[in-house]
Amino acid sequence: MSFTVKVETSAGGFELELLEEWAPKGVARFREMIEAGLLDACRFFRVVPGFIVQFGIPADPATASQWRGRTIKDDPVTQTNARGTLTFATSGRDSRTTQLFINFKDNKFLDSQGFSPIGRVTSGMEVVDKLHAGYGEKPDQMRIQREGNDYLEREFPKLDYIVSATIVES
């Protein structure tokens, strides 16, 4: 099963194609997140030009705490982390929760580290390329978990964010 997700951001829109044959557990989790509205108002909190853009910590700390312990098992890496692929972030084996990244360039070295792409940007990569990168890796992920968007809006007001993410095709 594959499906398309339309993502509207503060910088414009892009579309993702999710491919179950690439990573079934990851694709199922992403669908669950979209259906729960989990990505709405999420900030692109880690934007590293020439590497990745990371997002997926819920805007509300209470919601973030509910999902933080809901890990999913790893999928085998069947595709390379090429430019435009969407991949779950991990902190070790079987640790995927809600954080994802889009590769700005070919990051093949991530394949051997267990980062399994779940889909790819099919249109609007130019929007992904222009997401605000002025803060780099400065936002503190633990503070985002604890304080949510209040922290990000106060300390990093220029971060781009997801307005909505909608499944448009099943």
pLDDT digits (tens, 9 = 90+) for 118-157: 999 999 999 999 999 999 999 999 999 999 999 999 999 9
CA–CA separation, 26 vs 46, rounded Å? Answer: 20
Domain of residue 107 covers 2-169
pTM for this predicted structure? 0.97
CB 72 within 8 A of CB 118: no
CATH number for 144: 2.40.100.10
What's the structural domain count of the chain?
1
pLDDT digits (tens, 9 = 90+) for 54-86: 999 999 999 999 999 999 999 999 999 999 999
Closest CA to 81 of 51, 101, 106: 106
CA–CA separation, 147 vs 163, rounded Å? Answer: 19
For the chain, give percent helix, strand, coil, nearest 5.
25, 30, 45
Residue 170's pLDDT is what? 59
